[in-house]
Every structure is written in structure tokens, then in C-alpha cells.
Amino acid sequence: MAKIHPLACVHPNAKLAETVEVGPYAYIEEFVEIGENTRILPHATIFNYVKIGKDCNIFPGAVVGAIPQDLKFDGEITYVEIGDRVNIRECATINRGTKASGKGLTKIGNDVLLMSYSHVAHDCTVGNHCILVSYVGIAGETDVDDWAILGGGTVAHQFSKIGKHAMVGGGSKIGKDVPPYVLCGRDPLTYAGINLVGLRRRGFSNDQIRNIKDIYDVIYNSSLNFSDAVARIQEGFPDSPEKNEIVNFIVSSKRGIIRGPQNASSKDDGVE
């Protein structure tokens, strides 16, 4: 039986694994499912229609599954799904989806860190191994792909997409899509190179990193528009997972991707 503090408020129909721990003054509603070894710390709130995986930690003041802050929401049943080994720090918030979006689901992957006061709005998707630093706010239907990191105080416009292994500098305003593998910052948000340190930490080879860098040189440093740059990449680079990830991201972008710096020029990126 789950270890529930006597001062916690847990609906008797909530489905808690036997190894779940619930601290004092935590609040858990009826239609909630929580996996093994997850801890709900004091004063955390889990509203209805939330599923949380195993080995998660929900810290004090966090609110998971509140109804969306969307005027189109009409009381329908929608959901939040959270994967395994997710840490939701103090006062972070995750809202349920809306039917108006066509999804009705806000989803957080595995091994994610949502730092204090971060906000994940309705119908967002956050992939595996992502980090949202304190005070990040992603608006409705934003997609953050695997291994992306959003620096503190960053805000994302609704429908934005942030690609795999991207690193967004703190205090940024995301109004265009951020392609995979890149570093970006400044105002307006601008391409600043590839995420070299992150890629090396995650085991990308020098050849893979060089290929990614060469592709982005065509996109941002060749004076071609993005459509012509993609055509040149498709013709001039052999198929690889990295090439396909970048091309597919740019081709499918509805908001358009972030721009390069004015008068950008290639420079040493430390790739051997």
C-alpha cells in the first residue's frame, strides 16, 4: 500500500502504486494514476486526468493537471501524461490539453527536468531528456524535442517547435522554430552555431558533428534562402540521420526557422 502521510488529501479511487510516497498537505484527485517509487512531496497538487510514471519527484508547490488557460476549453475531459524519472521542481505547472487542439493531451517524456516556476501549457509535448530551466514558459501546442535545453526565463510562442539537441540561451523569446542541434540566443533569437558541447557529451562522433556543422553552414552562411539551401543539402550531402533530421524539420516547419546573424561568417568551431 502506498505510503500516504495522514495530513495528505488523496482520493480513495486514485491509483497509486504500492511504493508511492505522498507527503503532508499534498492533494491528489480521483482520476490520477501514479507509478512505482514516485514521490509526491508536501503541498504538491495533482488534479484529475493525470498519469505519472515511475521514479518521479513532484516537489512542493508544483501543480500538475490544472485545466488549461485557454478560453476555448469547455470543461471536456483531457489529459496529462508524464513519463518515468521526471523531476518537477517547486511551483512548476503543467496544464491539461484541450479538445480544440485536436490532441487533448499534454505530454512529458522520460528523464525530464522541469525546474522551479517553469510552465508547460495545454497540448505541449516535451520529449525525453529535456531540461526547462527556472521561469521557462512554453505556450500552448509547443513541441520540445528530445535532449533540448531551454535556458532560464525563456518564453516560447504557441505552436513553436524546438528540435532535438538544441540549446536555447536564457532569457530568449522563441517566435520561430529552433532547428535541431543548434545553439541560439540574442534578441531577436538568432542562430549562434551548433551545440558542440552537448553533442560531444551525448556521444556524437567528430564526423557526425562536422557533417552537422557543414549542413548549417549551407543554411546560414551561404547567402541562399532556406528553400534553396535545403535543395543544395539534399543534393550535396549523403543521407544520414542528422541530415534527415535537419531537412525534415525545416521542410515541415510552419512558423519558419530562426534566422542567422547578420553578415555571418564561418569560424573555428573546435571540431577536429
Catalytic residue, from 43, 119, 122, 165: name it: 122
- The yes-or-no answer on residue 122 being catalytic is yes
Give the alpha-carbon dihedral of 174, 176, 179, 183, to 10 degrees.
Answer: -40
For residue 16, give the 3-state DSSP assignment. strand
- The yes-or-no answer on residue 123 being catalytic is yes
Amino acid at 141: E
Catalytic residue, from 123, 143, 145, 177: name it: 123
Output the CA torsion sign for 118, 123, 124, 128. Answer: positive
Task: Give, in degrees to the nearest 5, the angle at Cα 63 between 22 and 67.
Answer: 130
DSSP 8-state code for residue 105: E
Cβ–Cβ under 8 Å, residues 101 and 123 = yes
Catalytic residue, from 61, 83, 140, 163: name it: 140
Q: Cell numbers at residue 199, please? A: 553533442
- The yes-or-no answer on residue 5 being catalytic is no
Q: Tell which residue, 165, 239, 169, has the closest CA to residue 196.
A: 165
- Please list the active-site residues: 122-123, 140
